[in-house]
Structure 1
Amino acid sequence: MYRSLFPRDMYAELEQLQRDMQQALELSPAIRGFGRGGFPALNVGSTGDAIHVHGFAPGLDPATLDISLDRGILTVSGERPASVQRDAQAAVHINERFAGRFQRVLSLPEDADPEAVNARYENGILRITVPRRASAQPRRIPVQ
């Protein structure tokens, strides 16, 4: 069986590229992720008082995760072991589960507070909360 160098549905590939470009342009200019499409999949959002990062990583041991924040760069790295031991006699036809070392990097806004980061891993979801510095939060000034 021969393999084509081109996707079967060129229009679907172009539509996916357009969606990816649109989504990249819609992100806040202060929160940027590098390595889109990697593991773990990330959702990043913000409120007035914090930046919230949710990583979807079922089957990980929290002790294998390394999370750091240095000069506004949040790094999540670790290793996910293979779930199935390979048998020399068996052929694997489809293997979609990621296994191996991974790293995701996010650039956070300047008002992110590196001293108050909180990370929790529960039910396969890694939740990282990065509070904003109090001085950077908007405040209401009464008029006298």
Structure 2
Amino acid sequence: MKTVRRNSTVFPSIFEGLFTENRLDVPNYEKFSIPAVNISEKSTNFVLEIAIPGIDKNDIAIEVEENTLTVSSREELKQSDEKEKNEDSKFTHKEFYFGKFKRVFTLPETANSKEINAAYNAGILTITVPKMEKKVLKKMVEIS
């Protein structure tokens, strides 16, 4: 299972991905944050674990279309809500952000997209994608 990388530019650059960005130097670093993902493959299924603490499970959307699995948050944290919470304090350093995100994964051919399950516990979204059962054909061959 692979994550899908979408290119937002019209003409892709030959240097894309060559240099890593130091996003700590970018103003509003938290706006760029995307949740970390662990993907494991077992004999009967694939398991995705996505770290999204602080987001209510009702604000998480999981969509499957053809061979693509999309996980996103439905609502973005409103600036007014953030300001109301922080009227008394001022951040000197801020590394996490509970905002809108979207992660897209390409499902392998062996994935059974009709039986996907998800659970959200302690800030970890666990998505289980079962593999399709392999049907073994047993055929008798007649000798001529």
Query: Shorter-chain TM-score: which interval?
Result: 0.5 to 0.7
Q: How many residues align?
A: 107
Q: 2:130 & 2:37 partners in 1: Cα distance?
A: 18
Matched, 1:81 2:77: yes
Question: Over alpha carbons, which structure has the higher Rg?
Answer: 2
**What secondary structure sits across from 1:63 in the alignment?**
helix
Measured after TM superposition, the shift of residue 69 of structure 1 is: 1.4
Measured after TM superposition, the shift of residue 115 of structure 1 is: 0.8
Residue equivalent to 2:103: 104
Which protein has the bigger helix share?
1
How well do the aligned residues superpose, as a CA RMSD in angstroms? 2.7
**What secondary structure sits across from 1:111 in the alignment?**
coil
| Structure 1: segments with no counterpart, 5+ residues | 1-30
State the TM-score, normalized to the length of structure 2. Answer: 0.64
Q: Partner amino acid for 1:92?
A: F
Q: Partner amino acid for 2:112?
A: D
Residue equivalent to 1:93: 92
Residue equivalent to 1:121: 120
Ranges of 4+ aligned residues in structure 1 off by more than 4 Å: none
Q: 1:120 & 1:90 partners in 2: Cα distance?
A: 34
| Structure 2: segments with no counterpart, 5+ residues | 6-31, 139-144
Give the fraction of aligned pairs with identical amino acids, expressed as a percent. 29
Q: 2:65 & 2:104 partners in 1: Cα distance?
A: 11
State the TM-score, normalized to the length of structure 1. Answer: 0.64
Measured after TM superposition, the shift of residue 38 of structure 1 is: 4.8
Q: 1:115 & 1:38 partners in 2: Cα distance?
A: 30
Residue equivalent to 2:134: 135
